[in-house]
């Protein structure tokens, strides 16, 4: 599933290419979206901006209309000059926004909605999102809100809490393992057991890692090939723990552990030496 950094980069690249252009072509395989596009007259509107909110991407049209998409596990947006060969088969296309000289194609995107300003403001999923860790206006109040929401989860493990977009928007499976490793926190510590200092360290690490991974484009709006959490330039040493179960920790040499956890049975990775479990009692 694309994480917040991937969606942020996608929105930034699409904004750079599409903002200010007039929509000349709009297609979607979902009938409700097609009917809404016809009713609201998407063709002929200008694209004002392309933005992200956590893992959600919004193409904002003039006149108070927005195309809301969520990639889930396999979706991605591609940009192509007119006449260019697509990198994915046409049957995989779910939505298309064409302008003079360029086309944006959403492949295997399962969530596509055309929303008015009022619908956008009232959208249940978007309203429920926690603070966006990549928001330019992110501040201490946002950090405090995330800490409060995390602690309110009680006995839920912090490794699962970080995947909950209602707590903080933007963290996915790769980053949760890397964040907790760098913060020195065992993923099975409960939200209620974490101190203010520990929660603050987790939140600061999350924002730092996500921000570091959006400083440069990764080429295509849907790719995260440049994602890294270590400072190594070695392409085989991009990450500290994710995907390294059973191998030695790059920092202390202890064995990297892994376990499926949470309602979606996602695998979390952690170091048995650098992330000690809290002692009983």
From the list 2, 131, 157, 221, the catalytic residue is 2
Burial bucket for residue 150 (CB in 10 Å: 0-12, 13-18, 19+): buried
Task: Please report, for residues 11, 24, 79, 87, 216, the alpha-carbon distance to residue 16 in angstroms, rounded to integers and kept in the order given.
Answer: 8, 18, 11, 21, 14
Q: Is 2 a catalytic residue?
A: yes
198 is catalytic: no
Q: Which of 3, 189, 207, 244 is catalytic?
A: 3
Name the residue among 174, 147, 144 with its Cα closest to residue 161.
147
By DSSP bridging, strand 56-61 and strand 65-70 are: antiparallel
∠ CA 95-263-245, rounded to 5° = 95
* From 21, 201, 250, 266, the catalytic residue: 266
Of the residues 45, 55, 227, 228, only one is catalytic, namely 55
Count CB atoms within 10 A of the CB of residue 264: 11
Q: Which of 63, 73, 79 is nearest to 11 (CA)?
A: 79
Contacts 24+ apart (CB under 8 A), 246-251: 249/273, 249/274
Per-residue burial over 103-115, b = 16 or more CB atoms within 10 Å of its CB, e = otherwise: bbbbbebebbbbb
Q: Tell me if residue 266 is catalytic.
A: yes
HSE-CB at 67 with a 13 A cutoff on CA atoms is 34
Asked about 238 being catalytic, the answer comes back as: no
Catalytic residues: 2-3, 55, 266
């Amino acid at each position: 599933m694309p994480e917040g950094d991937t969606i942020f980069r996608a929105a930034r690249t699409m904004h750079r290419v599409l903002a200010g252009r007039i929509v000349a072509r709009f297609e979607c395989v979902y009938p409700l979206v097609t009917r809404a596009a016809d009713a609201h007259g998407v063709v002929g509107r200008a694209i004002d901006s392309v933005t992200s909110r956590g893992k959600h991407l919004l193409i904002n049209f003039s006149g108070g209309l927005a195309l809301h998409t969520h990639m889930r596990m396999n979706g991605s947006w591609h940009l192509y000059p007119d006449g260019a060969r697509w990198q994915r088969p046409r049957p995989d296309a779910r939505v298309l926004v064409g302008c003079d000289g360029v086309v944006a194609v959403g492949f295997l995107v399962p969530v596509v909605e055309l929303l008015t300003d009022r619908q956008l403001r009232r959208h249940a999923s978007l309203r429920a999102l926690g603070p966006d860790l990549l928001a330019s206006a992110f501040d201490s109040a946002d950090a405090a809100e995330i800490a409060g929401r995390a602690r309110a989860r009680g006995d839920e493990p912090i490794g699962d809490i970080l995947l909950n977009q209602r707590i903080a928007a933007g963290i996915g499976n790769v980053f949760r393992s890397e964040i907790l490793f760098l913060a020195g926190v065992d993923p099975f510590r409960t939200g209620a057991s974490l101190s203010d200092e520990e929660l603050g360290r987790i939140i600061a690490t999350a924002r730092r890692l996500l921000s570091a991974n959006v400083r440069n484009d990764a080429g295509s709006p849907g790719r995260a090939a440049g994602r890294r959490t270590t400072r190594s330039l070695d392409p085989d040493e991009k990450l500290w723990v994710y995907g390294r179960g059973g191998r030695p920790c790059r920092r202390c040499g202890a064995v990297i552990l892994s376990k499926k956890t949470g309602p979606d049975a996602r695998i979390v990775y952690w170091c048995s030496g650098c992330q000690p479990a809290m002692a009983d009692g």
